[in-house]
Chain A
Amino acid sequence: MDRSTDIELRLLIEAIYLKYSYDFRDYSGASVKRRVAHALRQFDCKTISALQERVLHDPTAFMQLLQFLTIPVSEMFRDPSHFLAIRQEVVPLLKTYPSIKIWIAGCSTGEEVYSMAILLREEGLLERTIIYATDINPNSLDKAKQGIFSLENVRAYTHNYQQAGGKQSFADYYTAAYDYAIFDKTLRENVTFADHSLATDSVFSETQLISCRNVLIYFNKKLQDRAFGLFHESLCHRGFLVLGSKETLDFSAYSKQFEPLVKQERIYRKS
């Protein structure tokens, strides 16, 4: 029975790739398996094969499944010390560029984007920065574009923001309405939200800084290396790569092509 499940899972992932060009074939297997099992219960399908039949013949069902396959777990100024280190160690160097391009890869529902935009505004850099915020999940990108977050979460973000060296009152950046916080739309004036897959797409711009946090953990080593390859190609000479607090270049084929600037905070520079 378990062996059949493994076969069905492979077939489902292959079918999704062939039909919809979403490539989960090199994602970490244990996590994909759990998420598909979770989806099975929600779809009320008895087997993965039954789920496969549904998503192959119904694009709407596929979009629903995609919400299970991607993991929109994020928060603003997540790991405050990381953002503090960007402010202290990276911003002074970014200030030397006349114009800045930043790529937030796997931006999910936008928490990292608004965090970065707020930080850049406070450092006087937002106006000369273009931010590319990319993700594979169109629903997440839509949410990111709206910039509306639950007020309950924003309370936790406020604490993060203060710990991250925030210079204002966090409430300056949003308007509260009912249970939601609507973020200042001028924060995203220079943000381009776009559909982009680290598994199948290529580099679209030269950048000075790439932030890709808690995305690579869902990839296997081969796909991680593909992503690091894209980042290496996109970054300018001595450009910055910042990762999630448990992500590392150590086991990658690209470990020698980057050097740590603040290793503890996962801030690297192209060497």
Chain B
Amino acid sequence: MNETAVSLARVPGVQAIVVGASAGGVEALLSIFGALAPGFSLPIIAVLHLPDERRSQLAEVFDRRVAMTVVEARDKEQIQPGTLYFAGPGYHLSVEHDRSLSLSQEERVHHSRPAIDYLFESAADAYGPNLLAILLTGANQDGARGLTHVKQRGGITVVQDPSDARVDVMPKAALALHTPDHILTLSRIGDLLASLESSPC
């Protein structure tokens, strides 16, 4: 529960990471992913709330700053190790049981499409206890339910410390609904990811 307790022993068998962020999210994600060492081998799937533009520059922006392969998630794409996937604008993004990605234009969740809940809940169903879910800064309630579902399925949950978040509404909403495994600052979340990488699994 507290920051100092983060260790390899508590995060065994992680096969995929999902991340959700809203207002203030670009800087937060850059700070976490920018620190990852080359060769980071787990897949990361991220929803960052965006205005509904048809084409997003997110993947390009992050590709220049992150050592991993960075792409916008495509429908029916098989999830690959060492790749950072961003949900594109206007579509929900889900993980299927065969660990491929799917898009959907269902109704918005918390006024958002893509929605963090949509990604987290589907990834929890697909990865069960082998999922690490991280919820960061933001100004709405998205992600709280999804994080709860990740926990119910045995996955590991992390919420950014509200005092460290640029906008604390989203972390606080998550904490109101669910007690995560870890409440961490951005720099500690970076440490956690780095520790996963060196863990033999």
Q: Is A bound to B?
A: yes
Does A2 count as interface, using CB distance less than 8 angstroms?
A: yes
Known: A30-B95, A248-B75. A214 touches B105 (CB 8 A): yes
B122 touches A73 (CB 8 A): no
Interface residues of A in 221-248 (CB under 8 A from B): 221, 224, 245-248
Considering only CB atoms and an 8 Å cut-off, how many residues of chain B contact the other chain? 29
| New A-B pairs, 18, CB < 8 Å, besides A30-B104, A30-B121, A248-B74 | A29-B96, A29-B125, A30-B95, A30-B118, A31-B92, A31-B94, A71-B104, A217-B103, A220-B98, A220-B102, A221-B100, A246-B74, A246-B91, A246-B103, A248-B76, A251-B76, A251-B77, A251-B78
Chain B contacts of A246 at CB under 8 A?
A: 74-75, 88, 90-91, 103
Does A179 count as interface, using CB distance less than 8 angstroms?
A: no
Chain A contacts of B103 at CB under 8 A?
A: 217, 246
Which one of B76, B90, B105 lies within 8 Å of A71 (CB-CB)? B105
Using CB atoms, name the residue of chain B closest to A252: B76
B positions within 8 Å CB-CB of A: 54, 74-78, 88, 90-92, 94-98, 100, 102-107, 118, 121-122, 125-126, 152-153
Tell me the bound Cα distance from A29 to B118 in angstroms. 12
Chain B contacts of A158 at CB under 8 A?
A: none
Interface string of A48-81 (1 = CB under 8 A from B): 0000000000000000000000010100000101
Using CB atoms, name the residue of chain A closest to B128: A2
Using CB atoms, name the residue of chain A closest to B124: A2
Q: List 17 A-B contacts (CB under 8 A).
A: A29-B96, A29-B125, A30-B96, A30-B102, A30-B125, A33-B122, A35-B106, A71-B105, A73-B105, A73-B106, A216-B75, A217-B91, A217-B104, A217-B105, A218-B104, A221-B100, A251-B75
Tell me the bound Cα distance from A108 to B19 in angstroms. 33
Chain A contacts of B74 at CB under 8 A?
A: 246, 248, 250-251
Known: A30-B122, A248-B75, A251-B76. A217 touches B152 (CB 8 A): no
